[in-house]
Structure 1
Amino acid sequence: MLNTDFTPIDQATWSRREYFYYFTKLSPLGFSLTVNLDITATKKWAQAHHVKFNAVYLYLASQALLAHPEMRVGKVDEQLVTYDVLHPSYTVMHADHTISNLWTAYDANFEQFYQNYLADLTTYGDVPGPMPKAPQSGNLFTIGSLPWVNFTSYTPLPFTPLTSFFPVLQAGKFITTDDGQITMPLSITIHHAVADGYHVSQYFNDLQALLTTPESALTAEA
């Protein structure tokens, strides 16, 4: 079931009110930060359980957002709201190297999420076009992967006014060290109106904790 629930933000009492005004009206600004995450344990878990790593990546990144309401701020009929959850919107590549954008409904139970993910790939994965599965809600966030390049910075550049303030996540190529550690660069780009460097650092810390002990999240009961 697609969760589209949200809570309206009362801007009169919102602790972020002045910062939101400043970074949207006086000095419109966003920022991007890239870190290397240790994915050794998660990669091994995915291999041992015969599941696609990309699905685990999408799930854990989405789960980490649950603890960060500042990253779930959107608009509904011009009203600022905080969504209960965000659903990952990601790209798939076709044989001719063109891409399509899909999305899968986040579910607290990983097994259910994984079955939803596989069903979306089966139904839409080979359909050409930029977005074969039409969006059904306003709480989709962009998350991708560039497995061909290990980067130190990645910054998407919007060319239209923002309708949400959700983060944009982009992963890069895995690097394996001599001692067997596997790392993955992950970039986050977000509007400064809703988040500061502190919030981003806390998100990365939370995500790294999930990646270090994936079994705690991936085998938990919903």
Structure 2
Amino acid sequence: MNTQFHIIDKSTWERSIYFDYYYTQIKCKYNLNANLDITHLVEAQKACGLRFFPIMLYVILKAVNQHKEFRMSFNEEGQLGYWEEVVPCYTLFHPENKTFTDIWSEYSADFETFYQTVVSDMAQYRDVTGVIKARPGQPANYCPVSCLPWLSFTSFAQDTYSENSLLFPLIKFGKYFKTNGRIQIPVSVFVSHAVADGYHTCKLMNDMQEIAECVF
């Protein structure tokens, strides 16, 4: 796991004025929702006999790790910067009591390594209940991802009622569906406007689309 943290020099950073404006004045966050075409991804996944969730998680994390805007954070000294890479933090649903826990896994750009890591971690921690964090030791460089497999939503919005310094995106995907012979999946990205504009989030979504078409 690469935990290198790059401190940003705000005196030369091109987004410095935008960060200050949206982090301290307007305090703006936003959601962007889009459907991704995952026809090839699902067909290949079924042909290979693999599980869908770890594959979709890989698509999302690989895209996130291509953009420093979505790997930004404050370090322990309160300095703004970005991580060399982030790891996935994701939820496990417990059907027996309709609760969830979340865990994290190491990230690898290599699909096979990432897939096997996530499948192994899900098996190891799936029976841990009664806590929010089922796997201890969550690192500071994490990206939260969760799935709503019961609904093909058209929009998803979320926010918190208190001030917080979280700059990572919150990413959710729903139930995939077929339309006009193609398979699509809704994806929602909750973003701090201080670190990413619409351009950056659209690029993130478009990169997810491209990765979904070439995983296999």
Same structural fold, with TM-score higher than 0.5 when normalized by the shorter chain: yes
Q: Conserved in 2, the CA contact under 8 Å of 1:45 and 1:214?
A: no
Asked whether the equivalents of residues 92 and 101 of structure 2 are also in contact (C-alpha less than 8 Å), the reply is yes
TM-score, normalisation: structure 1: 0.91
Structure 1 counterpart of 2:118? 117
Are 1:177 and 2:179 counterparts?
A: yes
- Indicate the percent of aligned positions where both proteins have the same amino acid: 33
Shift of 1:204: 0.9
Task: Give the alignment's Cα RMSD to 1 decimal.
Answer: 1.3
> Does residue 12 of structure 1 match 2:11?
yes
| Residue 178 of structure 1: how far off its partner (Å) | 5.1
Tell me the equivalent position of 2:42: 43
Which consecutive aligned stretches of 4+ in structure 1 deviate over 4 angstroms post-superposition? Answer: none
Aligned residues: 213
After superposition, give the CA deviation of every residue in 1:22-53 in whole Å (9 maximum; x if it has no partner). Answer: 00111100110100111111111211222211
Q: What is the match of residue 70 of structure 2?
A: 71
Task: Note the alpha carbon deviations across 1:194-215, whole angstroms, 9 max, x for none.
Answer: 0111111111111101112222
The 1-side partners of 2:188 and 2:180 are apart by 24
1:148 and 2:150 equivalent? Answer: yes
1:137 is aligned to 2:136: no
> For 1:51, what is the secondary structure of its paired residue?
coil
Counterpart mapping for 1:96-107 below 5 A: 96-107=97-108
Task: Classify the secondary structure of the residue corresponding to 1:201.
Answer: helix
SS at match of 1:99: strand
2: CA distance, partners of 1:162 / 1:31:
15
| Aligned match of 2:194 | 193
Q: Which residue of 2 aligns with 1:218?
A: none
TM-score, scaled relative to structure 2: 0.94
Provide structure 1 residue ranges, at least 5 long, that are not aligned to the other structure. 216-222
Cα distance in 2 for residues equivalent to 1:21 and 1:196: 13
Alignment correspondent of 1:219: none
CA deviation map 1:106-153 (0-9, x unaligned)? 112111112211221121111102111024311111111101111111
